[in-house]
Copies of this chain bind each other. A is one copy, B any other.
């Protein structure tokens, strides 16, 4: 097999962790695999460098910030290579530029245009390990660019595609994706397999173990991603194309997000353009809106309810109060003690009644559903935060997630 391994910040956070990563590389190499590695900066290093830049200049030029923070991964790549040599493993570090990562788009949020990594394949075929800096590349003018936070996952998947790897193994500080949060439901079980689509839904719900862009890239090129722990060498969760096995389960997991607040602007005169009139200013204020519900109009007036991150609650309320006056709406109310619970599963596509079952389960527990939103493979409800744990456990059990292997 040809494998691209990626080690994130905490997995290379110290001399000892880097040595442990080298041990993992050697173990896979000894199994006869061809290995290339992608590394992040040592944990904390990117923030340290950004702090230096901001101490110097509150508004630093992004070209230079990119050149500065790109050194973080270069340090890790060299150190891991040095550790591999100590184990007798021939290895070479490569910066993004040296590895052929060509990018386009603006500094600090560049996109990978292509990866010219043929020379790395030659090394791999000889049993040598290229150790490549994640998160960075070089643009057409030869400037160092970075992909933005979390970009190392994307680098790893892009490199795996470029060298035609069989798998992209992402080593992190968690050992996989669980059917739900084990801190809430002790019977939560690790999923062995999950589809790209499900992974995207889990990621958007705060399972921040894999950057969304990397999953999308893997999905587009059908590159299997193995999410696993560098602290505990057990099988993790494999993210791949939906296969027939996945059909068995109605849902794969229960996700939640506590970081939610709900706001309502009531009694808006119902006319075309009111959504734009509300969400335009909200977007301009850089507030992310999630679930949106517009009530059926009554007496020529309607209500608009939506959720925002809890941190933005007060700013949103202030903004809506201004809009209320301008729009001649009746009232603004809000609640920053709500939470979001979702059931996710590709099985939903071919099974009916999943949403109804969810609502029944919550009703049996006397949990009031405040808002509902659905996608092809997800049903989300907003409820009072105090019911969060109860709802998660009830759904986890009702959908049989604590039984056998659901996927």
Q: Give me the interface of A with B, judged by CB distance under 8 Å.
A: 15, 18-19, 49, 52-53, 55-57, 60-61, 63-65, 67-68, 70-71, 74-75, 77-79, 81-83, 85-86, 92-93, 95, 97-98, 142, 144
Copies in the complex: 2
A92:B79 contact, CB within 8 angstroms: no
Give the interface centre of A19, A60, A65 by most chain B CB atoms within 10 Å: A60
Knowing A63-B92, A92-B63, A142-B98 are in contact, say whether A53-B68 is a contact too (CB < 8 A): no
Chain A, interface SS category: helix
Task: Out of B71, B82, B95, B142, name the residue touching A65 (CB < 8 Å).
Answer: B82
Query: What CA separation (Å) do A53 and B15 show in the bound complex?
Result: 9
Query: What CA separation (Å) do A79 and B68 show in the bound complex?
Result: 7
Knowing A63-B92, A98-B142 are in contact, say whether A68-B75 is a contact too (CB < 8 A): yes
B78:A57 contact, CB within 8 angstroms: no
Among residues of B, the one whose C-beta sits closest to the C-beta of A74 is B71
Chain B contacts for A75, CB-based, 8 A? 49, 52, 68, 71
Query: What CA separation (Å) do A68 and B15 show in the bound complex?
Result: 14
Among residues of B, the one whose C-beta sits closest to the C-beta of A68 is B78
A64:B81 contact, CB within 8 angstroms: yes
A-B contacts, 29 of them at CB < 8 A, read A15-B52, A18-B56, A19-B56, A49-B75, A53-B78, A56-B79, A56-B82, A56-B83, A56-B86, A57-B82, A57-B86, A60-B85, A61-B81, A61-B85, A64-B79, A64-B82, A64-B92, A64-B93, A65-B82, A67-B77, A67-B95, A68-B74, A68-B75, A68-B78, A68-B82, A71-B71, A71-B75, A74-B74, A95-B144
Chain B contacts for A98, CB-based, 8 A? 142
